[in-house]
Amino acid sequence: MEELRKLEEVQRTLTFLQSRSITSTSSNDSDDCNCFLSKLTLLLVQPCGELDLEQKCALVSGYMPKISAAILDEASGKLTGKGYEENYVEKSSLFDFGHKSKSGPLQTNFEEIAMVGLHAMQRANSTLEDFCRSYFMFHGMDINNPQSVFQYLPMLSFVESYIYQLDDLNEKMVQASSSEMIISETGVELGGHGQISQSSNVFKSYPFRPLEYLLESHGLLTKRMQDEFKSGEEYWALERKLCHALQNKLQISVEDVIKAIHLKSFDYRVLNLLLYELRGEKIDELHMEFLSVSEFLVEVADDLFDYEEDVLENNFNILRMFVRIYGASAPTVLAKYITEAEEKYNQVLKALDPQLSLHYQRRCVEATEEGGNVSGYPLGTWSIPPLILDEEFCRSSLLHTK
């Protein structure tokens, strides 16, 4: 089964190379040549320390002319024997695509190849449903047409599930006790062991690299997607920083809070950019601008809906942060940001196609009526929940009640 999986991966790589006209057709042993090119490509895209793809290409270009057939023949003679084979198997696991790492599934998932688990897929499901119902219309797609949905769902589902899998690790870090956390200028590092330490290790390197390799192999990765992946990392770092500060009664800045709430919807922007690529469409900047404003309002609405729960679980929440900064005046300050965003929303809404504008507003009404964490921009009045000025007392009261 393992050998079959490796062959399948080589064949998939060969198909990709053929689509880019990077295959050998002139020699009698072209099949062997193409198999070698496929394996070489798979080797080059695997993570190797801090080397990026450009550095790897530069190394190959610089050193391959020096590696002659004579040198390879000499190396083949010296790199043989039982001792070498055992040592090679031990040290080359990074390039064994089916290898199960001794450090457990976490390393296999995030350091070697992009993979997702069932829990992440289940968590991503509601976001995917909301994305399809709210964003497909901006691509002229009918959500009620199964073919329209399922044609792109596998890739959209995989990417969102991968993001949720990383988000789950980040949540473990946020929930870590303050005694295990050390805040530094570069972010949060954990001194504990177990799952928390493993989660920290994932975020020490670029956690989206395996996903980028996957998207690139399908010809889907763009610079704007990479920028949004970086926004995701930045949001998670701000979330850890701000939640730690609230839990430990440290000072926070409104600039960090506003930046975090704008970054929070990065996954929707990734999915939208991915859908443009999957459909071979040119990005509509007006639509992107409108959705960006809408995303801000939706995130604020969700935070108001989840306010008490986020306080109890020490999650990022804009109202939580504003209460910490402005106290009882937090609703007034938040209302100012909402008003400014609503003005921009209405301004850009008028520039949309009238039919699209009507459909999106209907979707917002549907989402608001359905409620829950994926509720859309609530047309009408905003409801600010009762403020929790003493979070520690609120948590202890709830525990005592239970």
Residue with tokens 């790897």: 56
At 62 the pLDDT is 82
Joined tokens for residue 128: 């995917």
Q: 154 with 219: CB under 8 angstroms?
A: no
Higher pLDDT, 107 or 239: 239
At 359 the pLDDT is 96
Q: Tell me if residue 163 falls in helix, strand or coil.
A: helix
At 197 the pLDDT is 61
* Strand ranges in 5-153 using DSSP code E only, listed in sequence order: none
Q: 299 with 228: CB under 8 angstroms?
A: no
At 375 the pLDDT is 40
pLDDT at 150 over 80: yes
> What are the percentages of helix, strand and coil residues in the chain, rounded to 5?
70, 0, 25
Q: Tell me if residue 188 falls in helix, strand or coil.
A: strand
Q: How confident is the model at residue 108 (pLDDT cuts 50, 70, 90)?
A: very low
Q: What is this structure's pTM?
A: 0.68
Least confident of 67-76, 114-123, 146-155, 382-391: 67-76
β-bridge mates for residue 181, sequence order: 190
Joined tokens for residue 309: 């729960």
The percentage of residues in the chain with a pLDDT greater than 90, rounded to a whole number, is 51
Average pLDDT on 369-398 reads 73
Tens of pLDDT, residue by residue over 46-105, are 878 677 788 888 888 888 887 877 777 777 766 555 444 444 333 333 333 333 333 343
Q: How confident is the model at residue 2 (pLDDT cuts 50, 70, 90)?
A: low
Tens of pLDDT, residue by residue over 199-243, are 667 776 789 999 999 999 999 999 999 999 999 999 999 999 999
Q: Tell me if residue 369 falls in helix, strand or coil.
A: helix
β-bridge mates for residue 188, sequence order: 183
Residue with tokens 């993001």: 163
At 332 the pLDDT is 96
At 185 the pLDDT is 36
Which of 335, 310, 305, 313 is CA-nearest to residue 321?
310
Sign of the Cα torsion 105, 111, 116, 120 reads: positive
- What string of DSSP letters covers 63-91? HGGG--HHHHHHHHHHS-SHHHHHHHHHH
Average pLDDT on 373-400 reads 73
At 157 the pLDDT is 97
Measured distance CA(239)–CA(174) in Å, rounded: 8
Q: 304 with 323: CB under 8 angstroms?
A: no
Joined tokens for residue 195: 């799952």
Judged on CB neighbours under 10 Å (0-12, 13-18, 19+), 16 is: middle
Residue with tokens 């009408």: 380
Which range, 23-27, 327-331, 380-384, has the best average confidence (pLDDT)?
A: 327-331
At 159 the pLDDT is 97
Tens of pLDDT, residue by residue over 355-378, are 999 999 999 888 888 765 444 444
Measured distance CA(70)–CA(35) in Å, rounded: 22
